[in-house]
A and B are shown apart, each in its own frame.
Chain A
């Protein structure tokens, strides 16, 4: 089972390695992890996507809470939330495929952020499914490079 966990941490030297060390040391999975500042400059926000059964998830949440620098852990399992991820995709786009690439991008509301004679770079945002689908459609053209941010998520009120 995939889970999204949001972790508020002290914005301190070494915190990321404490969190990632916890996952590696205890054999928990990290699928994606993203970190950024919050309104309070002393606090950072991590979004971690992990897999595991209920028992493992319980341990992950408890172990995260036990880390001295962790202020708050939210498991999104039983919450309503919105998740987004951004992805930059560089695809081959020779003359004969350019318009098709643009049409596909349009359907997914992807934007062209860079363009050369032979390639396009798209920026696409959305949930995981949407991004995966977009990538699938571009594959036949030949994807040169993909960079994904990992998920961020926020609860609905």
Chain B
């Protein structure tokens, strides 16, 4: 043994986090992790924030990760502490968000004994983590942490969990933090295949009606600049998924906005009529494709993704390119620039067609003088913030309106639970984003249903001075579910009326936060402006039109060009009334 000092597992944990340059963790204590909290108490380098629920801890780490591109970190105790993280972990997993989650575990000798607060969290999270570890020997701890950060942040990113039995935390070992990791069975592809990139370039040059379709992979790979370059070289219009928001400037003339179930008319029609789709960092989710058999019937498909399993999982692909999106796009752009095609001329008629669709049916809603329209709140939020706020959402109609009506010109300004669709994600994730960006305005756009799923984090934001501005689009409904019941279940409103929602202004005040309310359209801007000035967490209760629906909408099972719109529904209603 060398003369090096021995460290306890708890100290190794902290020193390893420092080596990873972790500045903040979200941590909730309990029996088996007391030693770690004791050492956290004795150090100054890592900020550790106590959420009010372990689910909040994971979403906060997730918001931190999405808004920065760095790995988010959380620490919880064994048993219920660990099981409370599962929804948060699954949320991050579905959206490929890099997290490292530490869970306490009962001492190794007791594992499998149904000991107090024992849960097989490694077993429970196996299908919703990129990888997970049970550390059985303190001598493996530093190496394990190094690997976890490496796996979480490379290739297709994702959450990695490390289960720490109590005796591993208390026993001692020498501390060596490895500089590098090499895992023989894990080698993500970075460079794309040159021949396939060339093939892609040729197909792009030959296409008459191409559309570029980008997903969250563009954000994860920090490839927004390369996408913009690609679009500007080739004059190819770009549509994004819910996760791809910010991957291409929303105000760019070539932006088609979002596609899919609540995509724009012109994005969906462009895809449907295209002869070439260039899918980048996207995975052809069913919310995007609609009925797969009817998806883009005349199009060749180029699919660029870091994860080979995404390719040909849901749709046929003609030219696959596996690799890091940023690398591949850089190479592809080189090819395209060299090809010197008369891009403007080639693209003219296709862009003219798309402009006609744009004019035919822009995103729209009917304004009202008396009642606040939820879309109006989002439009005003965009104006008041100048598009320069981080927007985090919950799940429901408000999420779709935020995606449709706020324009994002930059990546990592938008955090939403796309894959899992987790209500309750927004507020704690916004808290995490705000911790990472103290100088930026961070808004959480929530529904009256969703906000109640992690409302306890009000205390965390006040206690730790993390001012988050929460826009509650209060329709007193589980609105998205109600919309489906209205359209497809003959208005049988089963378990969607939230009737006596709490007084959100008073709730905010009870936690020493600020509550504001707007009930009329003219109050919207003043409330937003006031909230921007307040240096505390604010709940803004916008009492909005209860029966508003999200349009366009592709009904389940339909192809994406078969959209329904608000006016049609209204016309039907008028006809019905006339008959009666």
Contacts and interface: CB of A to CB of B under 8 A. Distances in A.
A109 B421 CA distance: 59
B309 A68 contact: no
Nearest to B322: A62
B151 A68 contact: yes
Interface stretch (B123-131, B338-346, B451-459): B123-131
A58 B307 contact: no
B312 A66 contact: no
Contacts of B184: 71
Contacts of B131: 68
B122 interface: yes
Contacts of B127: 21, 25
- Chain B interface: which size bin? 10 to 19
Contact of A17 (B126, B185, B308, B312): B126
A38 interface: no
Contacts of A55: 312
Interface in A10-50: 10, 13-14, 17-18, 21, 25
A10 B186 CA distance: 11
Contacts of B183: 68
Contact of A58 (B130, B134, B312): B312
A20 B123 CA distance: 12
B122 A68 contact: no
Contact of B185 (A14, A63, A71): A71
Contacts of A125: none
A70 to B, nearest CB: 6
B308 A65 contact: yes
A14 B186 contact: no
A59 interface: yes
B313 interface: yes
A13 B126 CA distance: 13
B493 to A, nearest CB: 34
B309 A10 contact: no
A66 to B, nearest CB: 5
A14 B122 contact: yes
Given A62-B308, A68-B151, A21 B134 contact: no
- Chain A interface: which size bin? 10 to 19
A71 B151 CA distance: 15
B151 A14 contact: no
Central interface residue in B185, B186, B308, by most chain A CB within 10 Å: B185
Contacts of A75: none
B126 A68 contact: no
A63 B134 CA distance: 23
Contacts of A9: 185
A63 B130 CA distance: 12
Central interface residue in A25, A66, A70, A71, by most chain B CB within 10 Å: A66
A69 interface: yes
Interface string B54-83: 000000000000000000000000000000
A68 B130 contact: yes
B126 A21 contact: yes
Contacts of A13: 134
Contacts of B186: 68
B123 A17 contact: yes
29 contacts: A9-B185, A10-B185, A14-B122, A14-B126, A14-B134, A17-B123, A17-B126, A21-B126, A21-B127, A25-B127, A55-B312, A58-B312, A59-B309, A59-B312, A59-B313, A62-B309, A63-B309, A65-B308, A66-B309, A68-B130, A68-B131, A68-B151, A68-B183, A68-B185, A68-B186, A69-B185, A70-B185, A71-B184, A71-B185
Interface of B: 122-123, 126-127, 130-131, 134, 151, 183-186, 307-309, 312-313
Interface of A: 9-10, 13-14, 17-18, 21, 25, 55, 58-59, 62-63, 65-66, 68-71
- Closest 8 pairs between A and B when the two form their complex, measured CB to CB: A71-B185, A62-B309, A68-B131, A62-B308, A68-B186, A25-B127, A63-B309, A66-B309
